[in-house]
Structure 1
């Protein structure tokens, strides 16, 4: 399902329905209050589709983040087995979206500058760190 199509070098036009559930997954040390997440929320609000969007605040732990996402999705799919899914992932969220796309074969995936090897690239980030957009 393609909800938007490029209609000029600078703009997109809505072409068809959007997935029942679009999950925006932010990057490492980011949150639902990031610029990209807020633009996503605003876009869905303006289109009257805010109920189709889920922008969770992901824990820093990849295991906890994936468990939280899977728990939410499995509960939704149990009550709505035909639920169409789209994952939009930025940075580490792009890595998560890739993994989730393999777990949920019916899903579409959009990647924004995805992390390719976070298990190597984020080694220096282990430990207590400040999360952007919060204290």
Structure 2
């Protein structure tokens, strides 16, 4: 059974709108696909360990990845480490730079957990940061210019050698994502 792994963004959850759209589409159109939507930890080292264990448990299986926002960062890292196809949606390209505003400040997540990002966490993001995409044919960037959270231009530049779909307008949630699901599943080879 092929597996689709969806990675949510910072302070998001398995109940995010895109995750729900995927659940519905998979149930109606491709029930043969196992959809995994884990609640990711907040800290990058924990996320990396969790994802590595997940991949090692599924060696040899057919896996595709979708990552949104910070999940796009993790999807990129996972794709390139394990040579798996990934679709990144309005991805956070440089989390160590972007999340510095949360440094050493208690932050209450939507799940009620209080988290504090430290310099060590930002260093951990830097460790996971790939200087360039080594296998660009494995990644498809979906971005909208109306993203109110992240500068889409960073993603366009970073993923320059990858397949790209850049839409005018839209938002950080990527309005109209449901229209891309069949093509995304096809790109992922599932």
Deviation per CA, 1:54-81: give whole Å up to 9, x if none.
Answer: 000000001101211111121121xxx2
Distance 1:101 1:50, change over 3 A: same
Judge conservation of contact 1:90–1:113 (CA < 8 Å) in 2.
yes
The CA RMSD measured in Å over matched residues stands at: 1.7
Give the corresponding residue for 1:58.
40
Q: For residues 125 and 40 of structure 1, what CA distance do their matches in structure 2 show?
A: 30
TM-score of the pair, normalised by structure 2 = 0.54
Q: What is the SS of the residue equivalent to 1:116?
A: coil
> Which of 1 and 2 has higher RCO (CA within 8 Å, sep 6+)?
1
Moved over 2 A (4+): 48-51, 125-128
Give the corresponding residue for 2:75.
97
Q: For residues 122 and 109 of structure 1, what CA distance do their matches in structure 2 show?
A: 23
Structure 1 residue 90: deviation in Å? 0.1
* Alignment of 1:123 onto 2:100: yes
Provide structure 1 residue ranges, at least 5 long, that are not aligned to the other structure. 1-18
Provide structure 2 residue ranges, at least 5 long, that are not aligned to the other structure. 113-190
Which of 22, 35, 54 in structure 2 is aligned with 1:40? 22
TM-score of the pair, normalised by structure 1 = 0.75
